[in-house]
Chains A and B, each alone.
Chain A
Amino acid sequence: MVSRTQRTPFAEWWWTVDRLTLAAIGALMLAGIILLLAASPPVATKLGLDPFHFVNRQILYLVPAIAIMLGASFLSPRQIRRLALAVFVISTLLLAATLFVGTEIKGARRWIVLLGVNIQPSEFVKPAFVILIAWLFAESSRRPEMPANTVALFLLGLVGSLLILQPDFGQTMLIAMVWGALFFIAGMRVIWVVGLGGAAIVGLTGAYFTVPHVARRFKRFFDPSSGDTFQIDNAVESFLRGGWFGKGPGEGVVKRILPDSHADFIFAVAAEEFGIVLCIVIVALFSFIVIRTLSRAFHNEDAFARFAAAGLAVLFGAQSAINMAVNLHLIPAKGMTLPFISYGGSSLLSLAYGMGMLLALTRERPRAEQLQSRGHFHPAGSLA
């Protein structure tokens, strides 16, 4: 047991970090491994790989991921900002680079080979982007002379256009949503909320009419007979077949026919083998992490920490909610992975980084330290 009397850095971390959220994240990681054990072997065999290829890789990635998460959770808000700026600059450059040197997979250039490892820069952009936007909105309220809002809008445009060029509409939508959520939390007037909502509708309508596959997906959602609903039919069947307690590990059959059973549709595959009860437990874990983080942000008095923690929570929550809603046929199909559960090295590392920062930002800190980080005693600026 860690003693409260000795003020080592670890003891200080242990007693201030949100241990329940940490436990929930750990549970999700574990669930991810178990569900991959069920869902990924058919995909691996189809690709001619070792049946447990994806499981082994996921476990391999978990080691650095846990290190990154714990490391990030030790950071102070100032360190978080500095690191985020660095990560943002590097990954945005890589994002731009994918357009020229990226490997094209399924019609999109999202991947770049760096030191022999395939990485997806868009994953790393997300958490860093959230931190920067949160800082900008926090500054805009504190130091109005800085053009913070303009810069935030510019960053959205920059990242958004890079993502659309790949093309990756899912991620674009996600960062736009988080940006909007932060803007909303930062206290924008209701008229702008309406305006932003309108812009989102215009954007979706635009996508509907200009991008053929978006239109098809919408049509299919509202009229399943209009096209191929193979994936979603099988996902729904998976839930029905599984029932409350599932058919048992290895007893599933839908995973053999669903192409993305280890990634986008892992939730449905899990339902067939482990049952709806386990799915509800997973939903509970996600909602616990999101709502607990938001409530900590609610009580936090530091504007930056509040915005950043809320932004990361919204990012995490939106991604999980969209994935599960697609699996459950609640919204039209949209490629989105389930955080910590779906297979994906880049996604795992980026999530670890994001959740590490989330843990750091929700740590209980003395009020004096908070005020300090507010910059009240350091008028020169926190980012310096």
Chain B
Amino acid sequence: MTAVPHDKAPADKGGLLARLLYGRGVDRDAKAKARVGLAILAFGLIYAVIAGRLVMYGVSSDGPSAKRGSGGDVVATARPDILDRNGAVLATDVRMPSLFGEPRRIIDVDEAVELLTATLPDIDGRELRERLSSNKGFVWLKREITPLQQQQIHKLGLPGIGFLAENKRVYPNGPEVSHVIGHVNIDNQGIAGLEKWLDSRGLADLHSLGFAIDRQQKPVELAVDLRVQHVLRAELVAAKDKFKAIAASGLVTDVRTGEIVGMVSLPDYDPNDPRQALDKTRLNRLTTGVFEMGSTFKALTVAMALDSGKVSLSSSFDARQSLRYGKFDINDYHAQKRILTVPEIFTYSSNIGTARMALALGVEHHKAFLKKMGQLDRLRTEIPESAEPLVPKRWAELNTVTIAFGHGLSVAPLQAVMGVGALMNGGKLIPPTFLKRTQAEADAIAKQVIKPETSDRMRYLMRLNAEKGSARKVDIPGYYVGGKTGTAEKVVNGRYSKTKLLTTFMAVFPADQPKYLVTILLDEPQPIPETKGYATSGWNAAPTAANVITRVAPLLGVEPRFDLPTADKQILAVTAGIR
């Protein structure tokens, strides 16, 4: 540098312009060097920003939100498949194209409206024009169109019209399992049945975070057996038809685990067409309806009496004359006009006998027992539909009298099934479930509510009733069925009607080793020639239950055993020997 001294102060020698531009007395060489250094920094920074942006895209392309954001992807989020206990699909997602418009990009609204209405004749032309003329960025035009329509519209080549693949919920079995699984709305959000439960269980949160678009969600396995469900529904449809009932419903439950293997409430609806569900008559009577269960409730009264230890199978009660209580007169339908033993009271379904039994134990005991059996509180299961039982506000002796034979207390049928199930399975109250449950899980939540011996005696009574009593029609050879009929008079205009009945039937099989409980309810069955003018449970609900058991027992893997001894030997003697 020293060799070129005039470089040191170039501006001094330069003209006015140079001095203006570069300043006076500056070492331009050193300055230039520093500024090249600055340029290095600047470029380093620029390339770092570019690389940073690339990394940003790389990271966001890993995330699910980017996958969704990249065009033509799912809007309505995916739901897990719902399977029955054997893996048959009850509900699944299918991808469907939906038509949308971006009004700001549309060049000719008239052309677009004309061509779209020609392709989709069922679309409202005026509404379409309104939507496309708006100044919005995005409008739905029609949700869930067919692939053929998509292709036709695609070929129209309209700018500002596009498709998004959406998940549409499909129920391949139609109305078969409708009330169990419920249905979803157009945005694939569960609004009834187990579908709603799925959302409340956290699926909705996943949706809002954008995580539930993955098709790899774990399927939900139900306790329902599609084959049993099909049989139950077919038989109920036939029975409803045959007896001209306004409604028919039924349950098949596993008394060992509380699993609901089949549940049908007719009239039902097709979840693929959820509008049908708005019809009030199509509600799920088994969980949303409350009914006076009639004589089937006597099982609870008898069990209470036996479990208290104050009454035994050989105890007897006076049924010689009607029980007069205030201005009410309690009579028997199959009046025997004599003193009846406990098994006789059960098989003749004596109102007087059961009422006296309940009175013998007192109101408080009765109330406490029903509370323990879960009959006085709202029963909640996975499905959101449930109803509060109608419990009398003042519970006097009269209430105990009527409730003893199943009047004056309205419960959801599923609730009664839970209670009777506990009488059958050795005395354990297990909350019913729609999901698959193992024996160990059931044992963990089971509550011992009555003694195992009481349960044995109750099954003896149920079996006895099928051998000699009102449930003879369900004595299907091989399955050792036990059952109890119930016929409740419906309240019409504040009075019990003699013609409008609710007939119920509960059957347990096999009665010596209880596995399944079948419950049938018929609402207002009519007498027909075949039933000799009767419309009571033994003539309609019981044969329906028999048909169901004949068909489902083999499906459920219950082995038929023939030539078994009568109930007193098979149930009472054997269990007495063990205990």
Contact = CB atoms under 8 A, between A and B. Distances in A.
B320 interface: no
Contact of B18 (A149, A185, A301, A303): A149
Category for how many chain B residues contact A: 35 or more
Contacts of A28: none
A295 interface: yes
Nearest to B1: A301
Interface string B479-522: 00000000000000000000000000000000000000000000
Given A321-B47, A325-B50, A186 B32 contact: yes
A307 B54 contact: no
Contacts of A286: 47
A244 interface: yes
A242 B58 CA distance: 8
Given A225-B104, A242-B61, A291-B43, A144 B11 contact: yes
B1 to A, nearest CB: 8
B57 A188 contact: no
A5 B22 CA distance: 46
A239 B10 contact: no
Interface string B53-64: 111011011100
Interface stretch (B65-73, B79-87, B200-208, B380-388): B65-73
B251 to A, nearest CB: 51
B39 interface: yes
Interface string A329-352: 010000000000000000000000
Interface string B4-22: 1001001101110110011
B219 to A, nearest CB: 28
A290 interface: yes
Interface in A290-323: 290-291, 294-295, 297-298, 301, 303, 306-307, 310, 313-314, 317, 321
B40 A295 contact: yes
Interface stretch (A32-40, A92-100, A275-283): A275-283
A240 B60 contact: yes
A237 interface: yes
Given A144-B15, A298-B37, A244 B58 contact: yes
Nearest to A317: B43
Interface in B514-565: none
Contact of B57 (A145, A276, A303, A374): A276
B360 to A, nearest CB: 78
B477 interface: no
Given A181-B39, A187-B31, A321-B50, A240 B61 contact: yes
Interface string A172-207: 000000000100111111001000000000000000
A62 B17 CA distance: 45
Contacts of A142: 7, 10
A160 to B, nearest CB: 19
A303 to B, nearest CB: 7
Contacts of B40: 291, 294-295, 298
Contacts of B50: 283, 321, 324-325, 328, 330
A298 B33 contact: yes
B26 interface: yes
Contacts of A184: 35, 39
B51 interface: yes
A314 B53 contact: no
Interface string A116-156: 00000000000000000000000011101101011000000
A243 B71 CA distance: 15
A228 interface: yes
B36 A188 contact: no
B28 A187 contact: yes
A365 interface: no
A297 B36 contact: yes
A240 B70 contact: yes
Contact of B49 (A279, A294, A330): A330
Contacts of A284: 51
Contact of B22 (A187, A279, A280, A297): A187
Contact of B105 (A150, A228, A244): A228
Question: Of residues A140, A284, A295, A376, which shows the largest number of chain B Cβ atoms within 10 Å of its Cβ?
Answer: A140
A376 B35 contact: no
A371 interface: yes
B46 interface: yes
A149 B43 contact: no
B323 to A, nearest CB: 80
Contacts of B54: 239, 271, 276, 279-280, 283, 328
B23 A303 contact: no
Interface in A357-384: 371, 374, 376
Contacts of A236: 57
Question: Of residues A303, A313, A328, which shows the largest number of chain B Cβ atoms within 10 Å of its Cβ?
Answer: A328
A181 B32 CA distance: 11
A231 to B, nearest CB: 14
A103 interface: no
A287 interface: yes
Contacts of A303: 29, 32
B35 A187 contact: yes
B278 interface: no
Question: Of residues A181, A187, A242, A317, which shows the largest number of chain B Cβ atoms within 10 Å of its Cβ?
Answer: A187
B577 interface: no
Contacts of B7: 141-142
A314 B55 CA distance: 24
B326 interface: no
B157 interface: no
When A and B form their complex, which 8 residue pairs have the shortest distance between CB atoms, in order from nearest?
A144-B14, A287-B47, A187-B31, A187-B28, A239-B57, A276-B58, A243-B61, A298-B36
Interface of B: 3-4, 7, 10-11, 13-15, 17-18, 21-23, 26, 28-29, 31-33, 35-37, 39-40, 43-44, 46-47, 49-51, 53-55, 57-58, 60-62, 66, 69-71, 104-105, 137
24 contacts: A141-B29, A142-B10, A144-B11, A150-B17, A186-B32, A187-B31, A187-B35, A189-B21, A239-B58, A240-B70, A243-B62, A276-B55, A277-B58, A280-B51, A280-B55, A283-B54, A291-B44, A291-B47, A301-B29, A303-B29, A303-B32, A317-B43, A328-B57, A371-B3
